Structure formats: structure tokens, C-alpha cells
């Protein structure tokens, strides 16, 4: 401070007890962006590996399709496409492969004769269950040193973040 009591720093950079500077806030958002990018890259690689555990010929992105179908079946392919924010043609190609591998089945939608409902086959359920058990085992190993409270906090924060992103479009 100068003799007149004014600061040499601009007001936006001033800190008070419990308040962060604009630069500190910027750095926090940069850190979140950086850590999300790392998480997403590793998650994609992880999911590709999980997809191969379900079936060696499975496309890397198909694991997520199977998980969503399992969570929401029976469901229409158009609903799956909307949830994943991809085009119907993209979903149709991916579902065709899953059907050919015997992991899903399509049945006529009783409410709309033009549409079909998706569900996992018994084989699809078995393979997905085995892959998810392996994935959960890996997560348990990764987080074994964390207190259970921290694991629950991480799950809650991820859920909270995912809820925020539900309506976002790229």
C-alpha cells in the first residue's frame, strides 16, 4: 500500500480473507479442463479395452452402447441416438454389428409398428456383466488406498458434473 492507503495492484487482483483472485479462479478452471481431458482420453482407452473383453470384434465405442441399452431396455434406437447425441445412421451401423455379434436383439415396438425396441441377449448380458465386474475390480484396485468416504465423494461429484452436462451440445 502507498501512504494514501491505495494499492498498487488493480482491484480485480486484490485478495481478501477467503476470496480468490481472478487469476486463481482462471487457474482453477484451467486445471479442471486439463484433468477432464486426461480423464476422457484414459476413459476412452479404458472403454475400448472393456469392449474387447465383451467381444474381441467390438468397436471401442460399443461398450457404452451396451451399458446404456442394459440400463434402459427396452429402448428405441432413436432414443439411444438422442441420448448419445449421434445421428441415427451412426447408431444404426453400430447396432447392426452388435446384433450380428449376438449381443442385442431388436423386437417390434408394440406402440409403433415402424420402430424397434433394443435389448441385450442373454449372451450380451453375460458378457457385459463379466466385463463390468472386471472394470469394477480395476477401480477397486485403483482406489484401494482411498477412504470409502473419498470414493463416495468422487462418485457424487462426478454425478453432479454429469447432471450439469446432460443438456449440453458440442
Q: The pTM is what?
A: 0.71
Q: How do residues 106-125 score in pLDDT, each as one tens digit?
A: 999 888 878 889 999 999 99
C-alpha distances out from residue 8 to 5, 14, 19, 150, 151, Å: 10, 10, 19, 42, 45
Longest CA–CA span in the chain (Å) reads: 82
Over residues 37-54, the pLDDT tens digits come to 999 888 888 878 888 888
Rounded CA separation 6/21 (Å): 18
pLDDT bucket at 18, cuts 50 / 70 / 90: low
Is residue 141 predicted with pLDDT exceeding 90? yes
Amino acid at each position: 500500500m502507498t501512504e494514501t492507503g491505495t494499492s498498487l495492484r488493480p482491484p480485480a487482483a486484490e485478495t481478501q480473507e477467503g476470496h480468490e483472485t481472478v487469476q486463481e479462479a482462471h487457474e482453477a478452471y484451467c486445471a479442471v479442463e486439463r484433468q477432464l481431458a486426461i480423464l476422457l482420453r484414459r476413459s476412452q482407452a479404458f472403454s475400448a479395452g472393456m469392449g474387447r473383453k465383451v467381444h474381441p470384434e467390438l468397436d471401442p465405442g460399443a461398450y457404452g452402447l451396451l451399458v446404456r441399452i442394459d440400463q434402459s431396455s427396452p429402448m428405441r434406437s432413436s432414443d439411444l441416438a438422442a441420448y448419445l447425441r449421434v445421428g441415427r445412421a451412426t447408431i444404426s451401423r453400430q447396432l447392426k454389428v452388435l446384433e450380428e455379434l449376438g449381443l442385442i436383439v431388436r423386437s417390434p415396438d408394440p406402440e409403433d409398428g415402424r420402430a424397434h425396441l433394443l435389448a441385450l441377449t442373454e449372451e450380451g448380458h453375460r458378457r457385459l456383466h463379466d466385463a463390468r465386474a472386471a472394470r469394477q475390480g480395476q477401480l477397486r484396485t485403483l482406489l484401494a488406498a482411498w477412504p470409502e468416504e473419498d470414493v463416495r465423494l468422487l462418485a457424487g461429484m462426478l454425478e453432479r458434473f454429469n447432471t450439469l452436462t446432460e443438456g449440453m451440445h458440442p
